[in-house]
Structure 1
Amino acid sequence: MQYDTLRVSDAAIYYELRGHGPLLVLVGAPMGTRFFAPVADLLAADHTVLTTDPRGIGASVLDIPESDSTAAARAGDLARLIAHVDAGPAAVFGSSGGAVTALALAQHHPGVAHTVIAHEPPVNAVLPDRAERDAAIEDIIATYEAGDPAGAWKKFMINANIHEGPPPGPEPDAQQLADEAFWFRHEMRGTTYFEPDIPVLRDGPTKVRVALGTDSAGQLLDRTSHALAERLGQAVLPFPGGHIAFVMDPPGFAQRLREVLAAA
């Protein structure tokens, strides 16, 4: 594995590169390289796999730490990384906020990726109750800013219609707490308020597909995924597991992603 940082106009973007073969980019937000490492190692058997920490998260440091992270800004970083490694055009798999980054890449940098797979994108704009969902985001952020992270997480899970929280883990370290703060304060709005340009995403040079975990039925991202896919005139691509299945079952997820890329 190679790792380095790429200097962009307002940040240093950390990335990792492994394997050989066609370029495949795995991107999250706020999830960074460490979440994708197990599945990236598997996919590196037949792909050149690029992963990155999104701006303001992990080892990707902003010149002005309080800057907001928008999907368009993250897509610009991704376009520069793909050009920098000089192995494109790429297939891009984005999950959660990374799915929104991938959609913004297809929208604002057409042709940089030949294929984008947007896995469970949290895009409020495609929902009929968008105003209510936007208000919920503002309430979550306000709760965090009032000094109640646990309350903010509880409201986040209710809004996402996820009734089971993650299993107890070790106490978060300083970097994890910093990433959490950045996500609530500077990334959540810039992700969930993204405005998809449906004609560009549907008819542009990048093939865009929407994916959904089979265990995510009934959750908010089930609704956003189906709504976006319907607007694009397609059915959702089923993937195994739930929202972070690439963390929970890297072999099964890698197998499914290979199948989807082969069909694309």
Structure 2
Amino acid sequence: MTTHTLQGDGVALVYDVHGPLPTADGRPPLVLIGQPMDATGFRALVARMPERTTITYDPRGIGRSVRSDGRVEADPRVQAEDVHRLVAEVGGPVDLFASSGGAVTALALVAAHPGDVRTLVAHEPPLVRLLPDADVVLRAMAAVRAAYRDRGFGAGMAAFMALSNEPGELGEEFLERPAPDPAAFGLPTEDDGSREDPLLSERSQPIIDFVPDAEALRAAPTRVVLAVGEESREVLTGRTAVAAAELLGQQAAVFPSHHGGFMDGEHGWPGQPDAFAVRLREVLDAG
């Protein structure tokens, strides 16, 4: 692995290259991106795809990628330009596996720079506004941020986990439930005073508000595959993945495990990385 820094518009982007560039077999590099997760979340997946040159990075303002633009929000269009610069630096087009907020960034990238990506696998992008119950979900997310703002990380994350794990379409009754106990989720009950979490704070709002440009995505030469975890199809990010696939006139490709299915315990979230890597390889090779 080699680590590099790419100076961008108000950010020093840090990225890691695993394998040779240019690639040894002529296939494009495989870029792996998340949000708010940094490069460390892809360690298990990188290790299970040794035949590919893989590239991971820390998004703007996350981990090692320090911002100098005076802003804190995670804007998918701004981050798409960061990835565009990264692709130009390593040599495109690339294959791209993108998870969660990273998948939102990836959809913005393909719409704006369709020549950058050969195949995009967008895994469970939280495109809340595509849901029929978007109004309720948005109010529930506002309650998550309020819990974080008023009572700290444990309260905010407990509210987020209750929301993200709730199956099916949400109704008004969900908003009327009492606030969940952080201790029930193994979370801290004391407030450490921090309010800069990129998931629980207002920084994530542009991701939640993003609506992909379906016309641009359908017109792009990029093969776009929306992916959903077999265990998460009925919960929030699984439902948004299915809704995004329907927006593009396709069915979501089913992957093993859940929203963090490619992880092997990173960030305390065990998935099925062996099976996930097999499925990702299968989808990429089908293109």
* TM-score normalised by L of structure 2: 0.82
SS at match of 1:218: coil
Deviation at residue 136 of structure 1 after TM alignment: 1.9
5+ unaligned residues in a row in structure 1: which ranges?
none
Find the residue that maps to 1:54 and give its secondary structure: coil
Q: How does 1:208-227 map to 2 (within 5 A)?
A: 208-227=224-243
SS of the aligned residue for 1:181 comes to coil
The count of corresponding residues between Structure 1 and Structure 2 is 255
The answer to whether the 8 Å contact 1:137/1:189 transfers is no
Pick from 66, 69, 88 the counterpart of residue 83 of structure 1: 88
What amino acid is aligned across from residue 29 of structure 1 in structure 2? Q
CA contact (8 A) 1:67 1:186 kept: no
Contact 1:213 1:241 in 2 (8 A): yes
2:258 pairs, out of 242, 252, 257, with 242
Do 1:14 and 1:52's aligned partners in 2 also have CA atoms closer than 8 Å? yes
CA distance 1:65–1:158, shift in 2 (3 Å): farther
Greater than 4 Å deviation, 4+ residue runs: 165-170
> Matched residues in 1 for 2:259 and 2:118: separation?
24
Cα distance in 2 between the residues matched to 1:167 and 1:262: 39
Output aligned runs, 1:136-147, within 5 Å: 136-147=140-151
Q: CA 1:251/1:161 → structure 2, altered by over 3 Å: closer, same or farther?
A: closer
In structure 1, the partner of 2:43 is 37
Rounded Cα–Cα distance in structure 1 between residues aligned with 2:141 and 2:6: 32
Q: Which TM-score applies when normalising by structure 1?
A: 0.89
Moved more, 47-56 or 130-139: 130-139
Residue 13 of structure 2: aligned partner: 13
* Comparing 226-235 and 245-254, the one that deviates more: 245-254
Instruction: Specify whether residues 146 and 168 from structure 1 end up closer, same or farther in structure 2 by C-alpha distance, changes over 3 A only.
Output: closer
Which of residues 201, 204, 207 is equivalent to 2:220?
A: 204
Shift of 1:41: 2.5
Give 1:95's aligned residue: 99
Residue number in structure 2 paired with 1:149: 153
Larger Rg: 2
Q: Gaps (5+ residues) in structure 2?
A: 168-181, 264-270
Tell me the amino acid that sits aligned with residue 26 of structure 1. L
